[in-house]
Amino acid sequence: MQKRAYYGLYIVIAILAVLPMVLPNSFYLDLAIRMAINAVIVLGLNLLIGFAGQISLGHAGFLGIGAYASAVLPTHFGWHPLLAMVAGAVATGLLAALVARPIFKLKGNYLAMATLGLGIILNIALRNEATWTGGPDGMPVPAFGLFGFELSNDKQWYWVVAILLTVSVWASLNLIDSPFGRALRALHGSEVASRVVGVDVVRYKVAIFVLSAVFASLMGSVTAHYVGFVTPNLADFFHSIELVTMVVIGGMASVYGSLVGAVLLTALPQALATFEGWETVVFGAILMICMIFLPKGLVPTLAAKFDKGDQA
């Protein structure tokens, strides 16, 4: 049963390997890179939402910390970009761990409100600290280089994010099918039963919250260097919602669902551009239809159609 889940990984690798050869121009390459970046964030978020059954409506805030660490630290303090990226991730991890204990005493709607508030506070901080962050206008981000080699063109960026995505899929699959992952899914299935078999549920919720926040922060840094510019919009409420929507549309508790959700929702606004002023309306309608007919998300619903046996 578990072996089969890894077959998907080979398909992902195959697609990622072939994609640059079939993409007609740099517009699509750019789109593919943004899809892959979102996919990594959504993978982390799905571990929290889909597998552990918790919610975060403030994940873009963590993404913002990573992005601005990569913008501010090298620009104002001359830090090496890699060091800035790690510092952003560590800061995010510490912040997430600090707020997680009180937050995870809450459940359901209250948990959603608390994470929502956290995201909004982070966003406000980025907007208002204009001396450092450029305020609402944002700021440029220096290029990312390592050992004298600088990531300059999209082809190079593509391979970097493709590798990051592959490793993330592999690590997520590993994690789910491990004692840690089982405990995580068990506390989603029945919190009292998992406590009784010895799972320290708060510790597990905190751990996965921190992990997914660090994922978001690292990918925030990658986004910042790739785009070369950061604005507070990266960290705003709508971006948080967009990420959660990717998890839900693709499929909760589905690794490949995360990828599908990220790919679709990154592409959809582009595909709908022809509707001009109406694209958000059409976008919303598509999401509603998906939720009505595929309430478990795309991948789990389709998987169930083809297979009545084990879940991947």
Partner 1 sequence: MSLLEVKDLSIHFGGVKAVQNVSFTIDAGIVYSVIGPNGAGKTTLFNLITGVYKPTSGEIRLDGESIGGKSPDELARRGVARTFQNLQICMNMSAIENVMVGAHLRLDRNLIKAALRLPGLTRRDAELRGEAAELMRFVGLDKYINARADSMPYGALKRLEIARALAMKPRLIFLDEPAAGLNPKETIEVDELIRKVADSGITVVLVEHDMKMVMNLSDRILVLDYGKKLAEGSGEEVRKNPDVIAAYLGAHA
Binding-site ranges for partner 1 (CB under 8 A): 1, 171, 174-175, 177-183, 185-186, 188-190, 192-201, 207, 211, 253, 309-311
- How do beta strands 229-230 and 149-150 pair? unpaired
Cβ-based nearer residue to partner 1, 160 or 171:
171
Cβ-based nearer residue to partner 1, 175 or 291:
175
What six digits make up the tokens of 301? 């619903």
The distance of closest approach from Cβ of residue 278 to partner 1 in the complex, given in angstroms and rounded to an integer, is: 38
The distance of closest approach from Cβ of residue 175 to partner 1 in the complex, given in angstroms and rounded to an integer, is: 5
Phi, psi of 230 (to 5 degrees): -120, 145
Cβ-based nearer residue to partner 1, 21 or 196:
196
The distance of closest approach from Cβ of residue 190 to partner 1 in the complex, given in angstroms and rounded to an integer, is: 4
Query: What b-and-e string marks burial along 223-242, b requiring 16 or more CB atoms within 10 Å of the CB?
Result: bbbbbebbbbebbbeebbeb
**257, amino acid identity:** G
Cβ-based nearer residue to partner 1, 246 or 253:
253
The distance of closest approach from Cβ of residue 189 to partner 1 in the complex, given in angstroms and rounded to an integer, is: 3
For the chain, state the CA radius of gyration: 19
Cα–Cα nearest to 250, from 41, 19, 46: 46
The distance of closest approach from Cβ of residue 47 to partner 1 in the complex, given in angstroms and rounded to an integer, is: 10
Cross-strand bridge partners of residue 139 = 230
Which CA distances in Å does 97 have to 122, 203, 212, 245, 265? Answer: 15, 10, 11, 24, 29
Cβ-based nearer residue to partner 1, 19 or 164:
164
Q: Tell me the torsion sign for CA atoms 286, 185, 46, 6.
A: negative
